Amino acid sequence: MKSKNILLFIIPFITHYVSAQNISWYKCLNGTIDRYPITMHLHKMNHNLSGYYYYNSKQEPVYFLGEDTTTAGKIKLYAFSKSTDPNNEEFLFSADKEKYSGEWKKNDSSTALVFSATESIDTSLIPFTMVYTYDETKLKPDMKESPAATFDAATVWPQSTTIKASFIKKFINEEFGEKDSEHDVETIFLKTKSHFFNEYKEAFREAKEEDLKEMPPAFSEEQSNHLMIVYQSKNMLALANYSYSYTGGAHGNYGTAYSSLELAKKKKLKLDDVLTANGQTRLPLLLIKYFRKNYNLGANTSLKEAGLFEEKIKPNNNFYVTGKGIGFSYSPYEIGPYAMGEINIFIPFSELRKSLQPAFQKLLE
């Protein structure tokens, strides 16, 4: 998966609104690219879409984003599968009721393959909808080109009242800053937005209009959070909470916090829940192995030459699991420079089969 920098250019087109079914939704799609089965977790926020898809044989999530305005009546997505590939995959398809059909291309010059999918009918999975809000406030409303602050928040939200759904609601609310709460997340969004706007106006309350005209970006701020589904099974749910903040300077800060939930026991999985001690000791070498694969590095090429700060990669607590592997995500500056973006490394369980915890192994059945 690649950096999500491009997302920042799409967010401003979202309208000022808190969720409604006709302009925001979540769909789990089951389909094929050519003859290869895939699963797509598709999240819609007004005209913008984002999420993850994976080939069922590997279950290695690929991040994508897009919109439905470039081609009338069709959805266009760009997917980022390889860290070093400058050409993004493309989906272009239409939706007819519950059927999705169109094409997929590896890059601009490749031959298009048929993409088709339908909405999942798996009743063992918890149904979700999408909730979002976007708004902006001008620092000086009477000023023609006033600097402004923008606020954007979105999340999936369970559409059932089961014990598992209740656990997920509480977890989502905690991700957005409110513990032990099960009330609708819109309340938290609106409260956070109001606090952000009030702090912004207070910070620049004494700013002079001539300064605002000379350097408007220096007086503008952004805050964004998107919580999306990466993987879902009857036993587990993997979530990605993407955040971006700009409060001045050369660039904003961003990253994605991943969580994997064991639904029956109502808990967030820790690395000790997934891998034995022996398996965890093998992770550094496996992380290097698959980093080299992602970046097309030879066995003798220095990791520092590839851009990393050190000649080693340690596992962190920012991981997710699917039915076929475990992925680790590193934010900009964590193990490499800002220019490398987020670094995501996925290790298939075929490398760790004898190192999985017995209880976790049962979750994959």
Same-domain pairing of 280 and 213 = no
Whether 239 and 135 share a structural domain: yes
Is there a domain that residue 299 lies in? yes
Q: Which residues partner with 244 through β-bridges? A: 224, 254
Per-residue pLDDT of 337-362, as tens digits, reads 999 999 999 999 999 999 999 999 99
* Domain hosting residue 339, numbered range: 271-363
Predicted pLDDT at 135: 95
pLDDT at 83: 63
CA distance 285 to 287: 5
158 lies in a domain? Answer: no
Structure tokens at 289: 């192995």
What would the pLDDT profile of 248-282 be if each residue is shown by its tens digit?
Answer: 877 889 999 999 999 999 999 999 999 999 999 99
Q: Of 210, 245, 268, which residue is a domain's last?
A: 268
143 and 20, same structural domain?
no
Name the band, by pLDDT with cuts 50, 70 and 90, for residue 144. confident
> Which token pair is 331?
């934010």
Average pLDDT in the chain: 91
Look up residue 242 and give its two tokens. Answer: 């993407």
Question: What single letter denotes the amino acid at residue 362?
Answer: K
Contact between 89 and 30 under an 8 Å Cβ cutoff? The reply is no
Question: Do 261 and 278 fall into the same domain?
Answer: no
Same domain, 311 and 264: no
Confidence (pLDDT) at 250: 78
Q: What is the pLDDT of residues 72-112, one digit of tens each?
A: 899 999 999 866 666 789 999 999 888 999 999 998 889 99
Question: What is the Cα–Cα distance from 212 to 143, expressed in whole angstroms?
Answer: 9
Count of beta carbons in the 10 Å neighbourhood of residue 279: 20
pLDDT in tens, 25-64: 999 999 999 999 999 999 999 999 999 999 999 999 999 9
Give the rounded percent of residues in the chain with a pLDDT score beyond 70. Answer: 93
Residues 177-203, mean pLDDT to the nearest whole number: 91
pLDDT value, residue 96: 87
Residues 106 and 145 in one domain: no
Our count of domains for the chain comes to 3
In the predicted model, is pLDDT for residue 5 greater than 60?
Answer: no
Q: Within this chain, do residues 103 and 139 fall inside the same structural domain, yes or no?
A: no
Same domain, 264 and 280: no
Same-domain pairing of 105 and 194: no
Q: Are 241 and 213 in contact (CB under 8 A)?
A: no
Is 234's pLDDT higher than 50? Answer: yes
318 pairs with which residues across the strands?
A: none
- Closest listed residue to residue 53, CA positions, set 63, 44, 45: 63
Model's pTM, two decimal places? 0.91
The C-alpha angle 119, 64, 275, rounded to 5 degrees, equals 85
pLDDT at residue 289, rounded to an integer: 97
- pLDDT > 90: percent of the chain: 78
CATH number of the domain encompassing residue 314: 3.90.640.20
Write down which residue in 268, 284, 316 finishes a domain.
268
Domain membership of residue 177 (yes or no) is yes
Is the domain of 258 the same as that of 132?
A: yes
Please check whether residue 109 lies inside any domain of the structure: yes
Select the more confidently predicted residue: 209 or 244. 244
Query: 81 and 192 in one domain?
Result: no
- The verdict on residue 284 lying in a domain is yes
Identify the band that residue 326 occupies on the pLDDT scale cut at 50, 70 and 90: very high
pLDDT above 50 for 10: no
Q: Does residue 165 contact residue 237 with C-beta atoms inside 8 Å?
A: no
Which pLDDT value is given to residue 22?
A: 52
232 and 141 in a common domain: yes
Q: Among 64, 95, 119, identify where a domain stops.
A: 119
Q: What is the pLDDT of residue 316?
A: 97
Average pLDDT over residues 120-145: 93
